[in-house]
Structure 1
Amino acid sequence: MYHIAPMPAPLDEPLRQQLLGCETATIGHFREVGFIDPAIRSVLAQTRIAGTAVTLSLPHTDGTLLNHAMRLVRPGDVLVIDRQGDERHACWGGVMTQVAKGLGVAGVIIDGVATDAATIREQGFPVWSRGVAALTTKLAGIGGALNVPISVGGLVVQPGDAILADESGVLVLPPEDVAATASHAIHLQHQEEEILARVAAGELLPDISGATALVERINQSAS
């Protein structure tokens, strides 16, 4: 049986654009939660997307529901796919890439494998996966679920969560966290530019960051 829940509310476009200006690694400087297993990697060498999570749970050989979802997805959606532990059957390949790109899908995150990596790269379509494989899913008629909570890369992902993904990794944020997180990340990115300018002018990084002062203070208190 196929369980199909309503499509989630899309992330407000100004918030999506603000999040798109952030690097996942910058957010990794101040946030500990929401990062997907780094073994799920970008197929493209350089990319960044931000959008609304549309979640799918697909059994090992059945890609039927993912195919059906191509009539439901909207521009800016990010497909997040739970493969229920299967790492042999690729649910995503060249045809899906070109169809999704034409529909304006922002990208796809797969806790499993993809195929047709050359086509993905040629199309420049953002895909994150655990690797590539030749064995693929079929229209097997087994079942699956759309827009339900899923487990991907060690995280529970809710439909409607905000996704930020780049070549460094994938971050999942509750929609209510996006504004504050993005604002702080952009502030830190500006600070990094200022720090690099000071280093170029001759200052030492540990003096700017306070690392040396912290080391000295801790060693003095321990002595």
Structure 2
Amino acid sequence: MPAPIDTHISQQLLECETATIGHFRENGFIDPAIHSLLAQTRVVGTAVTLSLPPTDGTLLNHAMRLVRPGDILVIDRQGDDRHACWGGVMTHVAKKLGVGGVIIDGMATDAQTIQELGFPVWCRGISALTTKLAGLGGTMNMPVTLGGLVIHPGDIILADESGVLVVPAQEAVTIASKAIMLQQQEEAILQRVAQGECLPDISGATEIIERVNRIEP
């Protein structure tokens, strides 16, 4: 199992919105089609990676013996978009174990149970067709491809209702500090707008447009 994320870094990142980081960073975001089943959520944790054969969920069942509180399961479905590998039973078990959440490049099922339990799940959609215990193999804690992004076991995951971001460990503190600063600046901007100022004047957009207009022939 990969080394768990540092508690201090985890606490810092929990203050950050993925969309705030999206204002200044291009890399590390997975395909937005992999979306949260909860209307509001935010998790930070250590990536525990799985690659599952399309029809088989045996290795995922086995992983529930190994996962630790705060781990985030990151599941490559090897291109399968029909079989749900995650449902109500897995949700109950994972919640009891303290698992931070699950991110699936594929389908889930039992959305109502997931939402009632408030367990964080990101997936591409819902399917009634599920994986079976077929023992066909797969890999655990090897690099996987999820939503167009390669994720390694032990990577830091920050995920909320806006999306999923992989945060490089060596950049985590810098990214968190910048995001928190921007969120504080946004609060100040909203206060200025509430007092009657014009947003493009505050943001600098007016100045940019005027400068562009001056240099155009």
**TM-score strictly above 0.5:** yes
* 1:164-179 correspondence to structure 2 within 5 Å: 164-179=158-173
Measured in 2, the distance between the counterparts of 1:154 and 1:136 equals 23
1:57 and 2:51 are equivalent in the alignment: yes
**What is the TM-score with the length of structure 2 in the denominator?**
0.99
Helix, strand or coil: the match of 1:91? strand
Corresponding residue for residue 3 of structure 1:
none
Corresponding residue for residue 83 of structure 1:
77
**What is the TM-score with the length of structure 1 in the denominator?**
0.96
Q: Which runs of 5+ in 2 are unaligned?
A: none
Q: Which runs of 5+ in 1 are unaligned?
A: 1-6
Following superposition, the deviation at residue 170 of structure 1 comes to 0.5
* TM-superposition CA deviations, 1:202-222 (whole Å, max 9, x none): 111101110010011011111
Match of 2:209 among 202, 209, 215: 215
Measured in 1, the distance between the counterparts of 2:49 and 2:168 equals 14
1:189 and 2:183 are equivalent in the alignment: yes
Measured in 2, the distance between the counterparts of 1:98 and 1:119 equals 9
Aligned length: 217
Poorly superposed stretches of 4+, deviation over 3 Å: none
Identity in percent: 74
Corresponding residue for residue 132 of structure 1:
126
Helix, strand or coil: the match of 1:206? helix
Corresponding residue for residue 115 of structure 1:
109
* TM-superposition CA deviations, 1:150-194 (whole Å, max 9, x none): 000000001111111111111011211211101100000000000
- Give the partner amino acid of 2:113: T
1:93 and 2:82 are equivalent in the alignment: no
Measured in 2, the distance between the counterparts of 1:9 and 1:195 equals 39
Provide the aligned C-alpha RMSD in A. 0.6
Conserved? CA contact 1:160–1:175, under 8 Å: no
Corresponding residue for residue 4 of structure 1:
none
